[in-house]
Amino acid sequence: MSSTELPGVRSAATVTSQVSAVRVAEGEQLRSVTLPGLTLTVRSRPPARTGLPPALYVHGLGGSSQNWSALMAELEDTVDGEAVDLPGFGDSPPPADRDYSVTGLARAVIRHLDAADRGPVHLFGNSLGGAVSTRVAAVRPDLVRTLTLVSPALPELRVQRSAVPTALLALPGAGPFFSRLTRDLTAEQRTRGVIGLCYGDPSQVTPEAFRHAVEEMERRMALPHFWEAMTRSSRGIVDAYTLGGQHGLWRQAGRVLAPTLLVYGGRDQLVSYRMAHKAAAAFRGSRLLCLPEAGHVAMMEHPQTVAAAFKDLLRDTAADRKGGA
């Protein structure tokens, strides 16, 4: 048994064939994008009118494109939005090279944008997706119009205590260990734990949204590559945190040229609220939105507020360009 194989699971082909279909909200569409060694599922929402600028949303560790559904709906009159399931997450299968590093995931996003010829885009990233989006914006500025980061996973000197289990997932053999440790937990119990960790106020999750989250948790746990994606991506975050020089995330943040909106939650248990001002100083000319009541997923908790801040960014950026013309 490999270090990422769950004990007692059946073959990947057998299990995957029995996994329930991923949920598609009203007004959304899913499509599969196949590239050499990589297949991505892309969630889209038709824009309110033609000619709107393109946007791409990138989710965090253990998440999926569904995490952006609420914000996509709020911005359908502003951008032509797509949300990608990163390799191994959501409805996307694992990458052929099993590269879940921040650089590997950024490369997948870049390959998708190049193949789709949609750039430059308004790029959104949450948590791990924030680190991935930062790297994309730094190394391929031609692909990014603006950058919006919600609780981005950027290196911290003092990691949040509640984020330690995520770091532990990076250890060799952690996947099977966590699988055995949590095997008796129901999908409902797991979902309550995730919501309690990610939301500033878990009570704001509606019964319908909770039911959908439980269904998605059941679907994910049936995937044979679930723990592999989690452990290798966690390892990728830890590696990115320790990477120095020109490839360090803070160094790359300073290289981002796109107008940047930073969103931080005061009740975030995974990314420290105190990192907000450091990030604002690192990203040149950025603006900061601090939401004291929000947790780790402000775009899900307060989509209208985040959407309004993004629209302000667009308006002010357009005014600056007009004034400089």
Strand order in the sheet with 287-291: 29-35, 38-44, 80-85, 54-58, 121-126, 144-150, 260-265, 287-291
Q: What pLDDT, on a 0 to 100 scale, did the predictor assign at position 324?
A: 57
DSSP 283: S
**Residue 294 predicted with pLDDT over 90:** yes
The residue-averaged pLDDT of 40-62 equals 95
The answer to whether 122 and 55 have CB atoms below 8 angstroms apart is yes
The answer to whether 120 and 285 have CB atoms below 8 angstroms apart is no
Q: What pLDDT, on a 0 to 100 scale, did the predictor assign at position 168?
A: 45
Rg (CA), the chain: 19
Instruction: Tell which wins on pLDDT, 247 or 13.
Output: 247
- pLDDT tens track for 80-130: 999 999 999 999 999 999 999 999 999 999 999 999 998 899 999 999 999
- Which residues touch 72 (CB under 8 Å, ≥6 apart)? 28, 43, 45, 57, 81, 83
d(CA 33, CA 168): 32
The residue-averaged pLDDT of 175-201 equals 78
Highest mean pLDDT among 9-13, 157-161, 166-170, 273-277: 273-277
Residue 233 half-sphere exposure, CB side, CA atoms within 13 Å? 26
Confidence of residue 263 (pLDDT cuts 50, 70, 90): very high
The one-letter amino acid code at 196 reads G
Instruction: Tell which wins on pLDDT, 167 or 24.
Output: 24
Which H or E run includes 312?
helix 303-324
Q: Which domains does the chain have, with CATH numbers?
A: 12-324 (3.40.50.1820)
Give the burial class of 172: count Cβ atoms within 10 A of its Cβ; 0-12 exposed, 13-18 middle, 19 or more buried: exposed
**Residue 54 predicted with pLDDT over 70:** yes
Q: Give the pair of three-digit tokens for residue 106.
A: 């950024």
Q: What angle, 0 to 180 degrees and rounded to 10, lies between the N-to-C axes of helices 226-242 and 174-181? A: 130
Residue 84 half-sphere exposure, CB side, CA atoms within 13 Å? 28
Q: What pLDDT, on a 0 to 100 scale, did the predictor assign at position 257?
A: 97
The answer to whether 86 and 132 have CB atoms below 8 angstroms apart is yes
Helix (H, G, I), strand (E, B) or coil at 264: strand
Name the least confident of 120-129, 163-172, 180-189.
163-172
Phi and psi torsions of 146, nearest 5°: -140, 160
Mean pLDDT of the chain: 87
Q: Give the pair of three-digit tokens for residue 54.
A: 């393109």
The residue-averaged pLDDT of 64-86 equals 97
DSSP 41: E
Name the least confident of 46-55, 111-120, 241-250.
241-250
Displacement of CA 67 from its chain's centroid (Å)? 8
